[in-house]
Structure 1
Amino acid sequence: MIERDHPTLSVGRQCRLLSLSRSSFYYRPAGETELNLDLMRLIDEQLLETPFYGVRQMARHLRNEGHAVNDKRVRRLMRRMGLMPIYQKPNTSKPAKGHKRYPYLLRGLRVERPNQVWCADITYLPMRRGFLYLVAIMDWHTRKVLAWRLSNTMEAEFCVEALTEAIQRFGLPEIMNTDSQKMVVSSRVV
């Protein structure tokens, strides 16, 4: 839209009319350096060989090959090339068939003493080959982790073991809260 050789309007005046700074008009992108282009080629080749390498693993590989790079630079170059590692994501959000829904018992409830409300949550820890699953049982009042377990499968046994240990050590809570279900715990574990 700006004409360099306009007979009456200078480049500066045209930029002001368009609400554009003169430096923006004169700016020419520098592009990537030769070193970055070489690194991008190496990243691309390595990702074809090991498509599960993320930023940290790729940076470590390049450093082992003698290149002075950090995670930030590798992340920027991989983003610029549109590269993402391919890895299996956990499949943790599918409810079991016939899963009963429980009422939410904590709305408006003041937690004022230990063993009033416990919570449990499961998270996954990505490992070199697959995942480990971590379950933790926590008291809402004291914020103390009462029991925890690790497992390499999403079977229910390791969750039950953690809950059983917490009950044996600290007694029964009034309410047990998890992401998937809410329940009142009476004399037996529901």
Structure 2
Amino acid sequence: MHQKEDKILVEKMRRIHKESYKTYGIRRIKAKLNKESISCGKNRIARLMRENGIFSRLRRKYKATTHSNHRLPIAPNLIDQDFTADRPNKKWVGDITYIPTDEGFLYFSGIEDLFQRKLVGWSLGSRITKELTLKALEQAVGRENPGDGLIFHSDRGSQYAAYAFQEILCKYCIRQSMSRKGNCYDNACMESFFSTLKKILSMVEDLRPAK
């Protein structure tokens, strides 16, 4: 009886896993099953995933992307989780994420405009440095030529608190805003963008011809 139930459950888990472009892990698969009124314990899901080779493509060792334990100046939180904007170049948000590759990790620094919800600046590198965020900011300013009143929001990472980064913000009259310490929801929109980006990258990998 249990084997039959497990077989049906595994089929549903495979469908959910496929629909997520193989990015969902135990917690998200459990949440989707619950939404479909299927009650199943976390341990059972973990066992069935392990036994049937269902793993998240994003299941990697955690990589820290910002260093917030520093003595650089911290800006106030001007956004306060209000991710709306009534015009372009009113609120930008920035963050850094890692992208796993066959040869190691790459680091992606992105800047998103909250009005258009589009990427206005980005840079890619093999190391997390202040130059990574500086390049993304300089690209965004060069493309958009924002006027006065723009707010740039990020976490408290040293790459964003660096004096060189603050000098560019000051040069273009951009006000700096930073998340509260340890509060990932203060920059949730960038987290959402990175999640979508990684799903797209997983789809592209699926389309690559086998070697």
Task: State TM-score, norm by structure 2.
Answer: 0.45
User: 1 or 2, which has the higher helix percentage?
Assistant: 2
Q: Scaled by the length of structure 1, what TM-score is found? A: 0.49
Q: Which has the higher contact order (CA 8 A, sep 6+)?
A: 2
